[in-house]
Amino acid sequence: MKKIFSGIKPSGDLTLGNYIGAITNFIKLQHEYECYFCVVDLHAITVPQIKLELKKRIKDIAAFYIACGIDPNKSTIFIQSEVHAHTELSWILECNTYIGELNRMTQYKDKANKVGTDGLSSGFYTYPVLMASDILLYDSDLVPVGEDQKQHVELTRDIATRFNNKHGDTFTIPEHLIPKVGARIMDLQEPTKKMSKSENDKGCILLLDEANIIRKKIMSAKTDSEMKIKYDVLNKPGISNLLSIFSIITKKSINSLENEFKNCNYGEFKKALANELINIIHPIQQKYENIRTSRELDEILDEGAKKANYLANKKVRKVKKRLGLLR
Ligand code: TYM
């Protein structure tokens, strides 16, 4: 069975972008692949975090994985920092990655342009290598991610190929799996920017938002003055974003939605979208509340860490042997 690895970092509450760009794909793929879904907490500390919030969010994300529909009997769910091999392999791979490669990572470049490098941790700079380790430890064939992570998966492929060529066949070369629709859900207020947990409150729907908040955020989403429900990212980024969200959550094609709403105004369309979103998110929240406080969640995470540790330690031993690091 082919393998899948993916992760979400607990640097903020889960967003609709995380759900559409990543989690909906995890749910689809879990039946066909051996899946590893990780809460990548070590990635979160590349920027400052508040201890108690981080601690809470780590388990929140694990609970949301399950509440959204990942079956813990089928997939392995675990917390990255409970598997030490991730950091060990990361160091080894850092010694196999060029500074030039890291300099080309757009996420790093964007952040460095914004805040300068003096205030950025070196962990933020090297984090694509930690991500490569996450993926390569489990011989992952596919990595389901949103568009923003594509470059990191490509770097992972380069690092793995280079290592294999130099030291012998060690890593499976992974491929990214990016959804055709919904790979980049945009901010509702600034639809030319990615929806992100660190950005504008009003522009970002959280999976924890109450129904009235979701409705408010959708109803006040920025659109244009044409009043025509048509997918056109360049000229109508706002309405195109809402169409993508609608399409993913209802599994209706964009074309059929354009048809369905051709005689409606933006207000009617947004109202329908808000209702659909609430219908999806509300049951997830209820399931989340149950699982978040259950003892079962800890058992699932313990079990997940055990399985992940076994596989990851085996891989690290192989890598160390290849390098002459084992007695
Ligand atoms: P993170 O935590 O920022 O996001 C988690 C996943 O959600 C996707 N995503 C989006 N998709 C569509 N539209 C959006 N607005 C949006 N916002 C986020 C991301 O593309 C991602 O798939 N470095 C990664 C976490 C990571 C990882 C890994 C992923 C660490 N190790 C190994 C895959 C495999 C990150 O920061 O994702």
The CATH number of the domain holding residue 138 is 3.40.50.620
Residue 200 domain flag: no
Where are any strands of DSSP class E within 97-174? Answer: 142-144
Domain extent for 215: 211-289
Does 234 share its domain with 170? no
CA distance 324 to 327: 8
Q: How far is CA 36 from the centre of its chain?
A: 13
> Which residue matches tokens 């990942």?
70
CATH of the domain at 269: 1.10.240.10
Does 235 share its domain with 308? no
Does 66 share its domain with 111? yes
CA of 62 to the centre of ligand 1 (A): 15
Catalytic residue flag (residue 166): no
Does 139 share its domain with 29? yes
Neighbours of 320 (CB within 10 A): 15
Testing ligand 1's pocket by substitution, the residue of 15, 18, 106, 141 carrying the most ligand atoms inside 8 A of its CB is 18
Q: Considering Cα of 60, then 61, then 66, then 68, what sign does the dihedral take? A: positive
Does 150 share its domain with 226? no
Catalytic residue flag (residue 197): yes
Does 149 share its domain with 248? no
Does 268 share its domain with 147? no
DSSP conformation class of 19: I
Does 166 share its domain with 264? no
Q: Can you give the pLDDT of all 327 residues of the chain as single tens digits?
A: 999 999 999 999 999 999 999 999 999 999 999 999 999 999 999 999 999 999 999 999 999 999 999 999 999 999 999 999 999 999 999 999 999 999 999 999 999 999 999 989 999 999 999 999 999 999 999 999 999 999 999 999 999 999 999 999 999 999 999 999 899 999 999 999 999 987 668 999 999 999 999 999 999 999 999 989 999 999 999 999 999 999 999 999 999 999 999 999 999 999 999 999 999 999 999 999 999 999 999 999 999 999 999 999 999 999 999 999 998
Domains contained in the chain, number:
2
CA of 173 to the centre of ligand 1 (A): 19
CA of 226 to the centre of ligand 1 (A): 33
Neighbours of 327 (CB within 10 A): 4
Residue 201 domain flag: no
pTM higher than the cut 0.95: yes
Residue 189 domain flag: no
Catalytic residue flag (residue 262): no
Ligand 1 atom closest to residue 182's alpha carbon, by position in its atom list? 12
Residue 205 domain flag: no
CA distance 260 to 258: 6
Does 172 share its domain with 76? yes
Does 170 share its domain with 47? yes
CA of 259 to the centre of ligand 1 (A): 32
Residue with the smallest CA separation from ligand 1 atom 5 is 8
